[in-house]
Amino acid sequence: MADDANPTTADDQSTAGSYVTPGTEFTRDDRYIATRITADGRDGYPVEAGRYRLVVSRACPWANRAIIVRRLLGLEDAISMGVTGPTHDARSWTFDLDPDGLDPVLGIPRLQDAFLARFPDYERGITVPAFVDETTGQVVTNDYAQMTLDMSTEWSAHHREGAPDLYPEALRAEIDEVALAVFKDVNNGVYRCGFAGSQEAYDAAYARLFSRLDWLSERLSTQRYLVGDTITEADVRLFTTLVRFDAVYHGHFKCNRSKLTEMPVLWDYARDLFQTPGFGDTIDFQHIKDHYYVVQTDINPTSIVPQGPDLSGWLAPHDRAALGGRPFGDGTPPGPVRAGEEVDPQHTADAMRG
């Protein structure tokens, strides 16, 4: 499945603070390391438990996809995970959450080090999520759109018992179609609003975003999930934007026709997923707000992080089960979050305090 030329998100750019070009429409860098980790190892990187480290930031919606998919499929034993801090400087995401500021497995202070280990003259954005080969310390790929699909299809031998099929073969064409529309108008649409360099560019992006959200509301008014009757890759991709909508996109990115809480169908849908194991337990609202409001200084030059909004409603009941559907199909929910990979409980308590 392609994501509109696999665009790089502004969350992941290596130059902190510079995102808006006056007078222009926001565009994205599509230059990714296209190497894949596959069951047959055709790109030189075979699927191998314990060999690769998934480097993520909980702030980034694109990395959040990989965190969710890894957890739903039960790949924790096969793929280790390193978590950067929520902010980055002009060079790279950094491991400032770890003791001495070093990733405990890779032994590096910056994700950039893994990119330069493989490509000494690397000049593109240092992006998350990224797979790093623990045996060499070199980055393998940062192609986030392909990474989650490969976790579903290439890593199946290492899935947990009862893992859901997030990319069922019979539904792939429809998943691809829906996910691409969601990407162009919603996942990318919020950035086209927030980083618009002209009124005309903003107005067009704003109209396109909310037209698609209205379309999604209509689609989800009669079915529990985006494609079929189970959670798929398409739901993961929409969720990571919706969960950030009121916290950052509504105000910071000027996506302010409606809050998510004012779009009843989408609000119920997002809460249904948030309360499903593997989704809400990956979300760190404090990291999300810190990233957008601190790093993106051309939008928020003071780097002041707002106290609001009230996020306690994420735990409120919803009626989505009345639409039927089986979240995990013939599978089962994932177990508790692995020790050491939990979201900071104080961050969760603060967000849900109301």
Residues annotated as catalytic (active site), given as ranges: 60, 191
- DSSP codes joined into one string, 309-342: ---GGGGS---GGGG---TTTTS----SPPTT-S
End-to-end CA distance of the chain: 39
- Sequence-separated (6 or more) residues with CB below 8 Å from residue 27: none
Q: Which of these, 226, 132, 139, lies nearest to 186 by C-alpha position? A: 226
The dihedral over CA atoms of 95, 80, 138, 34, expressed in degrees to the nearest 10, equals -110
Q: Which of these, 151, 136, 127, 125, lies nearest to 72 by C-alpha position? A: 151
Q: Which of these, 82, 150, 148, lies nearest to 113 by C-alpha position? A: 82
In our burial notation (b when 16+ CB lie closer than 10 A, e otherwise), range 268-279 reads bbbbbbbbbbbb
- Tokens linked to 6: 């696999």
By DSSP bridging, strand 80-83 and strand 52-56 are: parallel
Report d(CA 336, CA 322) in Å as an integer: 26
Cα dihedral 101, 106, 107, 111 sign: negative
- Tokens linked to 219: 């689609």
CA 195 distance to own-chain centroid: 19
- Tokens linked to 263: 């779009």
CB atoms within 10 A of CB 34: 11
Report d(CA 266, CA 264) in Å as an integer: 6
DSSP bridge pairs for 80: 53
Ligand-binding annotation for 93, yes or no, is yes
CB 51 within 8 A of CB 169: no
Report d(CA 92, CA 78) in Å as an integer: 26
Known binding residues are 93
Known binding residues for glutathione are 93
